């Protein structure tokens, strides 16, 4: 197990050095996105007809293409405050349960050329396959530490699709020393898969007893 200090955007070479069990601190610009955000991207652009999207939505999409190439998407529904000057800040920034995005994530990773996803609880086999294919990893963030994680968010740079609601919008944030652990890597390894297998075996033993 090793400790890494990574700056976003991250190269594929750097990502393929990471293995399950490694820890890292992330620095740079990342983007938040949950259920509605993933659905918006997949239905309107990745598998949808982009020509039918509004000019405003196309601008959002093009901006996200810039931000997510070599970038990191954070499954997070933040609590956000607003200052008198109109600028935003994160009050709490805890991770959302990632498995909810399993139907979408592989397509999003491949389409945008992402290098990482942050969340909690891990993801499924479709996402794991995409991590290996595209050179990306799943970073686990500590659940229940939303206020602590928010301290790593130094600046809110932009927000897109705020009409989806504060938790569902794309928040573009600059982070410093954001603590994460690699729990799914680009080599086909997943801590979450191992835990699930062990749990199923224990359950089978209990049922058979």
pTM to 2 decimal places = 0.90
Asked if 38 is an active-site residue, the reply is yes
DSSP 8-state code for residue 17: T
Model pLDDT, residue 173 = 98
Phi and psi angles of residue 46, each rounded to the nearest 5 degrees, phi first: -70, -45
Q: Is 198 helix (H, G, I), strand (E, B) or coil?
A: helix
Q: What is the mean pLDDT of the chain?
A: 91
d(CA 196, CA 21): 17
Query: Given a cut of 80, is residue 196 above it in pLDDT?
Result: no
d(CA 24, CA 14): 12
Query: Given a cut of 70, is residue 201 above it in pLDDT?
Result: no
Phi and psi angles of residue 71, each rounded to the nearest 5 degrees, phi first: -105, -170
**pLDDT grade for 208, boundaries at 50, 70 and 90:** low
Cβ atoms within 10 Å of 1's Cβ, excluding its own:
9
Bridge partners for 161 per DSSP: none
Residue 126 near residue 61 (C-beta atoms within 8 A): no
**pLDDT grade for 145, boundaries at 50, 70 and 90:** low
| CATH architecture assigned to 3-208 | Alpha-Beta Barrel (3.20)
pLDDT digits (tens, 9 = 90+) for 42-95: 999 999 888 899 999 999 999 999 999 999 999 999 999 999 999 999 999 989
- Give percent above pLDDT 70 in the chain: 90
Residue 122 near residue 129 (C-beta atoms within 8 A): no
Q: Is 31 exposed, middle or buried (0-12, 13-18, 19+ CB in 10 A)?
A: buried
């Amino acid at each position: 197990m090793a400790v890494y200090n990574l700056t976003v955007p991250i190269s594929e070479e750097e990502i393929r050095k990471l293995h399950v069990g490694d820890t890292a601190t992330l620095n740079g610009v990342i983007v938040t996105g949950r259920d509605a955000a993933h659905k918006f991207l997949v239905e309107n652009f990745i598998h949808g007809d982009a020509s039918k999207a509004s000019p405003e939505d196309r601008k959002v999409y093009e901006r996200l293409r810039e931000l997510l190439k070599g970038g990191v998407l954070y499954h997070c529904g933040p609590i956000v405050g607003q200052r008198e000057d109109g600028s935003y800040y994160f009050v709490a920034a805890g991770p959302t349960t990632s498995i909810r995005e399993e139907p979408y994530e592989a397509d999003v990773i491949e389409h945008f050329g992402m290098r990482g996803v942050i969340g909690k609880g891990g993801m499924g086999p479709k996402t794991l396959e995409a991590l290996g294919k595209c050179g990306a990893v799943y970073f686990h963030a500590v659940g229940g530490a939303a206020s602590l994680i928010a301290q790593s968010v130094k600046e809110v740079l932009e927000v897109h699709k705020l009409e989806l609601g504060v938790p569902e919008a794309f928040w573009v944030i600059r982070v410093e020393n954001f603590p994460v652990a690699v729990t799914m890597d680009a080599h086909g390894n997943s801590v979450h898969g191992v835990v699930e297998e062990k749990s199923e075996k224990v359950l089978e033993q209990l049922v058979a007893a």
